[in-house]
Structure 1
């Protein structure tokens, strides 16, 4: 499942926390059909790469049933899933790592996210010869694509697209007050993009105050404790949220109280977290404008349409690398992605 096949309200239900990934790998390895597994769970995709002991057709329902049980979701998710087998599965992984399959073409974070997912599986002894070679090859090809094509020109992260949206709304960010909730990698990229676009007043708030201080110092901003952000948001124009919370940290009731203090001044909320940080019904309030990660898809699609030639260049490179790197090492008939 990814941003093209499912809306964020479904993706967040299937998303796995790091602890959840560990539990899932353990459960999947207990299935008779599965010999190896790597589970990638990001804001825009949940993908399982599996080496199987049987045919993909025989294993598919068993694997999907396991995932549904782990995340306690029903059959309504099935129409939003995709399955790729053999060569197509490996090619898809190569394109994911290279940033070709991302919402933001050439996205930089996905390389590290897939690498972390693979490392996690490796530490859990969930991989073997086939997936090890496939993933190691994907990282080599991903680097080659980024170094030898123009794929990384323009916005290359969800965070930078969020900042582009803020610019479209306000024009000049130098006069805007911006608050960022969260201090992880997505927040780091977002704050760096804000500063590079001229934002001069950026406050960072995070449950771990030390991490908020570290990020704020890196960009010349200010850090505040997480229990202070509601009392400070009244003075801000834009709030960008990207925490790792499993449930919304901002409710409609929160915004009703904040709105009363703003005397009609609009507040723009940009939620780039999955699961979402901000309850969807917040958008029902006057003067409160909420954009979630799916709302950024339009901006990303515009940029993608303008760079079709670069996409084809990258695919040609990937196709040339695919079997030359894996021929004689991987039996494509044994490698499956569910």
Structure 2
């Protein structure tokens, strides 16, 4: 029962295509169930991040048939050029999984977030009883290989996460960070790490806004900041220097129409917007 992988990533598809395939984590259980019902996949794991969407699957049937079914499942009612997809079969699919887990296939080489994201995707598939011997063995080996690579090589040296890259960018825009205020819109894992990285480099304070008031309050407490209503974050705009936006909204949260009048409140001081959402905020 060979493993196959069908996917698209930052190399094969621009962000306007990737955002069409963004899969909300809360919907993954029903998507996994639908995938196994509508295709010949007997085992499956769905990985969805800002930079990639991949399906790892195994079936007793012909790999070509399974790949065709996975392609049709992902395309559904989306109208995109199917050349954005890559197809991998057998050893190539497993090798690719190892590269993804190790950060060797990431936009930021060696970044660490992808391993956690892959573990979450695998754990969800386990809970849904969507994996079996083939995928379990391959994923466990991939996790072990990723740990070994990070332990025995220098791949983690330098900026190996979106958070670190954002901090470097902020350092180039602002002479100093110790008098800067950060706003986090959407309290996801990567935005939290980015806010923590900025605070560790001296950022003055952080404001958190999220659709879930409870999540905003919890993250604000962890970061030593304050929470504001998702519908009222503009009230803090005059004090903000850096915005990290990572919501799951299907529409723009920050657009020119909204930002231009708000910039006047800030007397047109420099503002760094870090959009790590897919679909874009």
TM-score (norm 1): 0.76
Please, which runs of 5 or more residues in structure 2 have no aligned partner?
A: 1-7
- Asked if 1:252 is matched to 2:256, the reply is yes
Q: Distance in 1 between matches of 2:191 and 2:39?
A: 40
- Asked if 1:15 is matched to 2:19, the reply is no
The residue aligned with 2:43 is 36
Alignment of 1:32-71 (within 5 A): 32-69=39-76
Q: Distance in 2 between matches of 1:109 and 1:263?
A: 36
Deviation at 1:57, TM superposition (A): 2.0
The residue aligned with 1:235 is 239
Q: Which moved more, 1:256-265 or 1:95-104?
A: 256-265
Deviation at 1:86, TM superposition (A): 0.7
Contact 1:157 1:189 in 2 (8 A): no
How many residues get paired?
A: 274
Q: Structure 1 segments of 4 or more deviating over 4 A?
A: none
Contact 1:32 1:53 in 2 (8 A): no
Between the two structures, name the one with larger relative contact order (CA 8 Å, sep ≥ 6): 1
- Asked if 1:187 is matched to 2:194, the reply is no
SS at match of 2:56: strand
Please, which runs of 5 or more residues in structure 1 have no aligned partner?
A: 278-338
Question: Quick check: which one's helix share is greater?
Answer: 1
Deviation at 1:32, TM superposition (A): 4.8
Deviation at 1:101, TM superposition (A): 1.1
SS at match of 2:27: helix
Residue among 185, 188, 196 paired with 2:200: 196
SS at match of 2:178: helix
Deviation at 1:96, TM superposition (A): 0.8
Contact 2:182 2:195 in 1 (8 A): no
Contact 1:15 1:46 in 2 (8 A): yes
Deviation at 1:181, TM superposition (A): 1.2
Contact 2:185 2:208 in 1 (8 A): yes
Query: What is the alpha-carbon root mean square deviation over aligned residues?
Result: 1.7
TM-score (norm 2): 0.91
